[in-house]
Structure 1
């Protein structure tokens, strides 16, 4: 099913949105770097701050982008906003009461995939957008747009361990499937990393369960 708007409409919304919220994008990158720091510095307080920072990014994207701007061209935007705010609430709850949630950086495939995903969201994604002609303030930007924020969140969750991780992964994985259709239909090819990273996260979460069943 084709979206109820054109590529030009889609990018025009992003241009207007980015202009209206500037310089929030700079603050979003600062929050992203805080989350990265929490991975390499194993402190509970810093980890809580990282998940709280992600909560702010998801809430801002849900309300600021989906509800106040994207809703002008897409009737489903209000529903998308609700899911993003719900994810923000889950992230904030995990920051307040983390339980056994923690970030683990190791020399394994999961950590390597997480690192690549974070670098992609922060640095490679915007470069690809610029090369495609819709980068920078003319298109989706990290921390204030759904897809690069989702990719970054998946990257952080690849480092996360604990019972919270499954619940924090549901909405990012769901959005990756929605974003895949939009990426293909609108030609935002940098968003194709979303389903790839979502599959990686899903596999990382399923592997321990499968291993325990095989052993038992």
Structure 2
């Protein structure tokens, strides 16, 4: 596949993004940690709070990365941006306004997958990227599409609700699109995105509607 940009241009976008939005990356990581805390607390408002964080992350991806930066080297980014914003709005509608989702840690295989993906997105992904020669400011920091998609799928592995398929659609699509960077742009940490995509497809096929039954879910 012939890309409309070079590797240098691709990582140059990361450099420009990171230098421009700093220190927002720290705030976004703190939001991710806060989402994990809310899941662990499992209060009546936790589902809406976690959904609000996911909604904010996906709107950020669409506006602050795709439209503001990636569109400079790839016109398809306008479509990616619209898709990401739509994904954020779906989280806001189903999770915040309608409060259809619950999140919890339990002793299930699904939770194990979710925790593994969360750890990969927040710890392994940046370390692997740095060791692979793409340290900061070329680092795909949290808040950019690939690590954030892995994190999102990890969170959704801890979720239950009647409309989970609706919010899984965009992360699944991005796992397919973004995962190609592992081969086309030699971004090896994005191999994790392909694994996350497989997990997301499984969640789409077998969503948990009742969290009480999640301990026996596949």
Structure 2 distance, partners of 1:154, 1:51, is 12
Q: CA deviation at 1:95?
A: 1.4
Structure 1 distance, partners of 2:106, 2:137, is 35
> Are the counterparts in 2 of residues 18 and 137 from structure 1 also a CA contact under 8 Å?
yes
CA RMSD of aligned residues (A): 1.4
Superposition pairs for residues 103-142 of structure 1, below 5 Å?
Answer: 103-142=103-142
Structure 1 distance, partners of 2:57, 2:202, is 25
> Are the counterparts in 2 of residues 173 and 195 from structure 1 also a CA contact under 8 Å?
no
Unaligned runs of 5+ residues in structure 1 are 210-216
TM-score by length of 1: 0.92
Counterpart of 1:50 in structure 2 is 50
TM-score by length of 2: 0.91
Structure 1 distance, partners of 2:169, 2:180, is 18
Q: Structure 1 residues 107 and 140 mapped into 2: Cα distance closer, same or farther (>3 Å)?
A: same
Structure 2 distance, partners of 1:86, 1:171, is 8
Counterpart of 2:29 in structure 1 is 29
Counterpart of 2:215 in structure 1 is none
Counterpart of 2:149 in structure 1 is 150
Structure 1 distance, partners of 2:9, 2:204, is 37
Counterpart of 2:213 in structure 1 is none
Q: Higher helix share goes to which structure?
A: 1
Q: Which runs of 4+ in 1 moved over 6 A?
A: none
Counterpart of 1:213 in structure 2 is none
> Are the counterparts in 1 of residues 129 and 135 from structure 2 also a CA contact under 8 Å?
yes
Unaligned runs of 5+ residues in structure 2 are 209-218
Q: After superposition, what is the alpha-carbon deviation per residue over 1:69-103, rounded to whole angstroms, capped at 9, x for unaligned?
A: 1011001000000000001101111212113x211
Q: After superposition, what is the alpha-carbon deviation per residue over 1:28-82, rounded to whole angstroms, capped at 9, x for unaligned?
A: 0111011111221111213211111111111111111100110110010000000
> Are the counterparts in 1 of residues 46 and 102 from structure 2 also a CA contact under 8 Å?
no
